[in-house]
Amino acid sequence: MAVTLDIADLRARQILRADKERPASTLAAPAVPAEVVNLAAAKGDGLGCHAGKDAMTAAAKAAGMSETLDQYAKDYPKGPHDQPQSMCPAFGSLRVGLRMRRTATILSGSACCVYGLTFTSHFYGAKRSVGYVPFNSETLVTGKLFEDIREAVFDVAKPADYDAVVVINLCVPTASGVPLRLLPKQIDGVRIIGIDVPGFGVPTHAEAKDVLAGAMLKFARTEAEQGPVQAPRAGRSERPTVTLLGEMFPADPVVIGGLLEPLGLAAGPVVPTREWRELYAALDGAAVAAIHPFYTASIREFEAAGRPIIGSAPVGHDGTADWLDRIGEACAVPRTVVEAAKNRMLPMIRGALAAMPIKGRITLSGYEGSELLVGRLLVESGADLRYVGTACPLTPYAEADRDWLEARGVTVRFRASLEDDLAALLDFRPDLAIGTTPVVQKAKALAIPALYFTNLISARPLMGVAGAGSLAKVINAAIGNRHRFDTMRDFFAGVGEGHSAGIWEDVPKLRKAVASAPRGKSAHDPIGEMA
C-alpha cells in the first residue's frame, strides 16, 4: 500500500518507539510547508529523488537532520555553481568502505540507487558484496526501516569477520530522518559507523570519501584517547611519519617516502586507509600532507589531534621545492638538511621535465581533486595550459596551487560545471582536452583529441622524479593523432546531424495502407505506412 509521507508524523512515530512515556505534545517536528513538498512525488518509496533537491532538503531538516546538513554545507561549500554534475556522491563513501579490510558496508536507500551504486562499485573492481536494507512507504513511515537496519547490523557485526560495519543512508532515508545515530557504537567489539550521504547535501563523490574517512578518524581518535590501540600491521616506524591525505596512484606514496628519507622522515599511511588499525598510525603522524585539499572533515580530526596540515604536493620542480620547505618547517627539520635534500632532488626533477617536454595547448577538468596538481605538472612540462576546472571546492590548502597557476595565466575554476568545461573547450580550441566523459565526448565530436582524466591521467604517478616524465608520452601521442580525427570528421561529415540525427522532430503519423507497396515495401509494412 502506497502511503503519502508525512515528515512530522514519521518523526513522531520514531521518537515514540524510543520513548513511549514522552508527552505527545513534544514529539511533532515542524511540518514541511505544503508548497515545498511535492506530495504526489512522495508516494511509492517515500519522498524520492524525483521530488527535487529543495523538497528533499526541507524534508530532511524538518525530520531533524539540520545539524548534519548544516555541517555538510560548511565543510563542502557550494558555488559559484549550486552543484557540479557528477556521479552519485554516495559512491565515494561506498568506495572507501569496500577498499578496507575487514569492513562491511550496508546501504539504505531506494532500490534503483542501490543497484546503480553496487554496479558502479563492481565496475571499478570491488570484489566484495554490498549489504542492502530494502524498504517501502509503510516501513519508512512507521520507523520499521530503522529497526530493519539495526537488525541487519547485529546480523553482520561478527568480530571474527569484521573490525567495522559502515551503514550509509542515501537520499530517501536521510530526507526521512532515519536516525543512524541511534545505532550502537560497538557490537562485540565491532565498530558501527552510520553516516548520511545524500545527493542534496554532499556535492561530489570525492567529498563523500571525506565523509566516511572523517567519521572513521573521529571514532579512532576517541579510541586512542581512551587507551592503547593496535599498532600498524608492519609495526611503528622508527622515524617520524607524514600522513598522506587523499587517494593516490600506488607508486606516489613510495616516491614521497623517498623524498622524505633525506629529511629523517617517512611516509605514513594514506587516508582513506586500507585497514582500521592504520587510522591510529595516521593520527600518530608528525604532520599531515593534504595531497587532496578538500578532506575537510578529516583535517578537522587531525587538527583536534594536534597535527599540522601542509597543502599541495611534491609535483614538478617548484611544487617539490615549496613542499619540502613546509614539511621541514612543520616537522622541525634543520634548514641545512632541507636544503641538502632539495639540492639532491630538484636537479633530477628539472632534468626529467626537460627530457620529456609537452608541446601544445591544453584544457584540463575533472572531479578527483588532483586537477590543480596535474595542471602544475603540465605547465612545468612546457604545455600551454589555458584552463583548469575541478568539481571540488576552494579550501585554504588549495590556495597555493591556485595562485601558482593563475600567476602563469591559467584560468582556474573551483566547483566547475560541465558548462564551464565545455565553454573553455570552445573558447580555447585546445590541441588536447583532458576531462570527464562528456567533455571528452564533445571534444572528439569537434575533432579535438581528448583523454579521460580519471582513467588516463590521475592513474599515473605525479610526484617527484617519477611524476615529472609520466604524462608526456601519453599526452604527446594524443596530440600527435590530431590528423586521424580530421580524417574521421571528413569521412563522417553530416552523419548524425540534422535530418540524419535519428531524432523524431514530430510524432510519426500512420497513413492508410495502399494496394500496391511502393518500391518493394509490403502493403502492411508499418514503416512503409508511416507518413
Average confidence (pLDDT) over 95-118: 94
Q: In what order do the strands lie in the sheet containing 164-169?
A: 131-132, 103-108, 164-169, 190-196, 186-187
Average confidence (pLDDT) over 379-392: 96
3-state secondary structure of 508: coil
Q: Is the pLDDT of residue 360 over 50?
A: yes
Burial class (CB in 10 A: 0-12, 13-18, 19+), 154: middle
Q: Is the pLDDT of residue 466 over 60?
A: yes
Strands 241-245 and 266-271: parallel
Q: Does residue 472 contact residue 356 with C-beta atoms inside 8 Å? A: yes
Q: CA angle, corner 99, sides to 373 and 271, nearest 5?
A: 45
Lowest mean pLDDT, pick from 3-17, 101-115, 139-153, 329-343: 3-17
Residue-wise pLDDT for 17-32, tens only, equals 333 333 332 223 333 3
Supply the pLDDT for residue 50: 66
Lowest mean pLDDT, pick from 35-39, 139-143, 324-328: 35-39
3-state secondary structure of 250: coil
Residue-wise pLDDT for 215-262, tens only, equals 999 999 999 999 999 988 888 889 999 999 999 999 999 999 999 999
